[in-house]
Amino acid sequence: MLTNGGCETGGTVNVDLPTSWVLSGTPSSSYKANSSSNGATGKVHSGTYSIYVDGSHNTGVLLNEPHSYVAGGTYNVSAWVWTVSGTVRFAEVSNIFPEILQSTSTIGAWYQFNQTFVYTSGAVIPRFRCNGNAVFYVDDVSITTIDGFEAPKEIPVANGVELVENGDMESGGVVNVSLPDNWSLYNTPTSAYKSTGKVYDGTYSIYVDGVNDSGVLTDAISWVEGKTYLIEAYVWLVDEEVRMMRTNPSIIDFQVISTTTGQWTKLSTYATAASSGSASVRFMASGTAPTFYIDNVSVKEVTSYSGGGFEREAYKLVESYDAIPSVHFAQTAVIGGITSGASVTTSIYVKADGRSNILLFEGFSSSGVYYDIQNGTIGYVLGTPTDYSITALANGWYRCTLTANIATTNAQFNIYLASATTNGANTYTGDGTSGIYIAYAQLEVSSYASSLMLPTTEGSTTSRVADAITNAGNQSLFSGVNSSGVLYAEIAAWSTSGGDGYLSLSDGTANNRATLRYTAVLNNLACQYVVGGVNQTSMDNTLSDRTLLHKVALRYALNDFSVWVDGVEVSTDATGSVLSPSTFTTLSFDNGSSVANFYGKTKALGVFDYLSDDEMELLTGDSYATYEALAMAEDYIIL
């Protein structure tokens, strides 16, 4: 946000200060410096210039550049000092960010002042002052926005035709004499021509020895209102500053600035045309007499957008740049109204992007877990969470869950970036760019993480809509399982007792049905087969804990009924009639007549032809993780 924090523009070496820099108090001397200053002992952090200060207590320099800041916005301020003697104090004139005193152990080396601040109001003026008598250099002062969350909703893909003629500089012109074809001068640089001095790709580039506000530009390009374009180029800056920008901002407006010297730097930006018309891409010197090379200039229309899935909805949590170890996290608001002692679960989809470890932490129970989201492993466990998991998904994404019992009526979940999965690794020195992508964070009063509940408004609360079975069958589909078959489910109840909750294969009424249900009796599972409103069998069994997932099945045939739980036959009944073909029409989460809905956890639900004892043991036991696996192994058709 600062344009002359690098001290490159304006001022005279060893005489006065660069542009926008002014004295604070009256130091003995202060001026623009380079490596030849002060008997060739001058210090420069990057670029060509810095500022030299020799002062007494509370004297120094300040950078007074007006910029627009957003009230409540978070910003990072950074600066580099080389202290020859004494120590330096760094602060904002109006205390928008507090004063930092340089460590005395860093004298004789470059030291970085760095801190984060929240903007309130007024100008932001960084100030460097002597703490007692001091001699020092200042360079590379910057203020950057900390977005915290950035949203890569969609990634533009520029597959349009190339709009820059001769962007590789290979056609026309004479080396060291004139410009390549389709290029022309902007204002009057000292010199500009086709060059072989520095080349990014191919044989030629363009060299510009400019004065301020001079350079070169492409032939006019036709821009179309509403279209988005990708504008790119490579520049090698010898000194000062170069800008890639538009020539007519009423048609399309963009500007990219580079102050990186001594290497090829890619300048890239997207811009959308405000109106249709012709305008060129301009490369302009900014400073006293900057020199630079240009190569591989390109403009293409954005024709599509990539991403989607999690990337389309993800946000990036970015760590701050720290001078000392700090925490980098996001958290929910304190959520009240929870029953004391209840289980609460958070789940979140995450993907590494520079930072590959996280800590999920619930504040009111002091429970947390470290996760490695690069390798999909669990690390250190804090407190006593009741459950946690990490599940690998496609394209580097993971779903992490954490469940804890709340002793109060409040809950608050935090997600911390971490440097490792060991205890305390959520405190570390950030680099200002690394982070993770997060999507679909969900907090629910539950002992496990359910499927996504997407609210109408992001960040609001919502109630889960009961699952329903659509296209749940017909007479033809169920024609083979009326008089014999298997009704199977892997389910768990919300509580150990209370309320009827049915899973039914029926004709749409309660008169003809096969059912699995939880009753009001403690840990009870009841299985029935009804013909014409009359129970042909009714078998009750007590489970160890029906709030845990169990694989249960009712097998039925004429005078042959049995119930299986977790691989074991637990009940049989050798008497009972069965239905005629073409009776069953639907599978539902109720008693067959749209009442007594099932409320619980359903991991699998299926209907099979009559199975042998061995097959029932395989279906309800641990030999197959799901009934789909059994069906594939035994070549069954899943109804």
Helices (H), 218-359: 309-313
CATH 2.60.120 for the 310-445 domain, yes or no:
yes
| Residue 107: band (very low, low, confident or very high) from pLDDT cuts 50, 70, 90 | confident
- The whole-number average pLDDT for the span 247-258 is 88
Architecture of the CATH domain 479-634: Sandwich (2.60)
Q: Which amino acid is at 199?
A: V
pLDDT in the model for residue 151 = 41
> Which pLDDT belongs to residue 221?
96
- 233-237, 314-318, 327-331 — which one is most confidently predicted on average? 233-237
pLDDT recorded at residue 103: 55
User: Could you read off the pLDDT of 473-524 as tens digits, one per residue?
Assistant: 566 667 778 889 999 999 888 766 666 689 999 998 999 999 999 888 888 8
Q: Are domains 310-445 and 479-634 of this chain identical in fold?
A: yes
206, 193 contact by CB (below 8 A):
yes
- The residue to which tokens 């024709």 are assigned: 303
Looking at residue 152, its pLDDT comes to 41
- Residues 115-137: what's their mean pLDDT? 87
Candidate from 204-213, 407-416, 486-495 with smallest mean pLDDT: 486-495
Mean pLDDT of 435-446: 88
Q: Which pLDDT belongs to residue 347?
A: 93
Tokens 């539950």 appear where? Answer: 446
Residue whose tokens read 């009934």: 627
pLDDT value at residue 149: 42
Whether the per-residue pLDDT at 119 is higher than 60: the answer is yes
Q: Does position 3 have pLDDT exceeding 80, yes or no?
A: yes
Residue 263 has pLDDT above 80, yes or no: yes
Q: Give the integer Cα–Cα distance in Å for 132 and 302.
A: 57
Tens digit of pLDDT for each residue in 518-569? Answer: 888 888 899 999 999 999 999 999 988 888 889 999 999 999 999 999 999 9
What's the pLDDT at 97?
A: 73
Homologous superfamily of the 155-305 domain (CATH): Galactose-binding domain-like (2.60.120.260)
Cα angle for residues 437, 321, 332 (degrees, 5° grid): 45
Beta bridge partners of 554: 487, 563
Residues 62 and 127 sit within 8 Å (Cβ to Cβ): yes
CATH architecture of the domain with range 21-146: Sandwich (2.60)
- Residue 153: pLDDT band (50, 70, 90) is very low
DSSP 349: E
Instruction: Pick 233 or 336 by higher pLDDT.
Output: 233
Q: What is the pLDDT of residue 52?
A: 97
Q: Give dist(CA 249, CA 254) in Å, integer.
A: 8
CA distance 76 to 320: 8
Q: How many angstroms separate the CA atoms of 140 and 484, rounded?
A: 81
Give domain limits for the chain.
Answer: 21-146, 155-305, 310-445, 479-634
CA atoms of 351 and 400, how far apart (whole Å):
10
Q: Predicted confidence band at 296 (pLDDT cuts at 50, 70, 90)?
A: very high
Residue whose token pair is 């086709």: 194
pLDDT for 150 equals 42
Residues linked to residue 533 through DSSP beta bridges, in sequence order: none
pLDDT number for residue 219: 96
- Are 7 and 65 spatial neighbours (Cβ–Cβ below 8 Å)? no
Tell me the C-alpha distance between 277 and 423, whole Å: 60
Q: How many CB atoms lie within 10 A of CB 61?
A: 26
Cα separation of 329 and 327, whole Å? 6
| 611's tokens | 């199975």
CA distance 294 to 237: 9
Helix 627-634, helix 613-620: angle, nearest 10: 140
Distance CA 101, CA 162 (A): 53
396: three-class secondary structure by DSSP? helix
Q: Can you give 293-330 as a three-state secondary structure string?
A: EEEEEEEEECCEEECCHHHHHCEEEECCECCCCEECEE
| Mean pLDDT for the stretch of residues 58-84 | 86
What is the average pLDDT across 130-156?
74
Residue 165 has pLDDT above 80, yes or no: yes
CA 547/CA 554 separation, integer angstroms? 19
For residue 77, the model assigns a pLDDT of 85
Query: For residue 639, what pLDDT is reported?
Result: 46
Weakest-pLDDT range from 107-111, 203-207, 291-295, 415-419: 107-111
Q: Within 10 A of 239 (CB to CB), how many other CB atoms are there?
A: 18
pLDDT at 470 over 70: no
Alpha carbon distance 405, 386 (integer Å): 7
| Distance (Å) of CA 485 to CA 84, 471, 478, 505, 556 | 89, 20, 10, 11, 6
- What pLDDT, on the 0 to 100 scale, is given for residue 105? 52
Q: pLDDT-based confidence at 104, cuts 50/70/90? A: low
User: CA 249 to CA 268: how far, in whole Å?
Assistant: 17
Q: Which pLDDT score, from 0 to 100, does residue 414 have? A: 93
- 112 near 323, Cβ under 8 Å? yes
Average pLDDT along the chain: 86
Please report the pLDDT score of residue 423 as a whole number: 93
Average pLDDT on 317-324 reads 80
Is residue 136 classed as helix, strand or coil in its secondary structure?
strand
Q: Identify the weakest region by mean pLDDT among 5-19, 70-84, 121-135, 276-290.
A: 70-84
Q: What number is the average pLDDT over the span 187-197?
A: 96
* pLDDT of 483: 86
Of 157-161, 232-236, 454-458, the range with the lowest mean pLDDT is 454-458
pLDDT at 332 over 50: yes
Alpha-carbon gap, residue 71 to 119, rounded angstroms: 5
212, exposed or middle or buried, with CB in 10 Å at 0-12, 13-18, 19+?
Answer: middle
What 8-state DSSP symbol labels residue 5? T
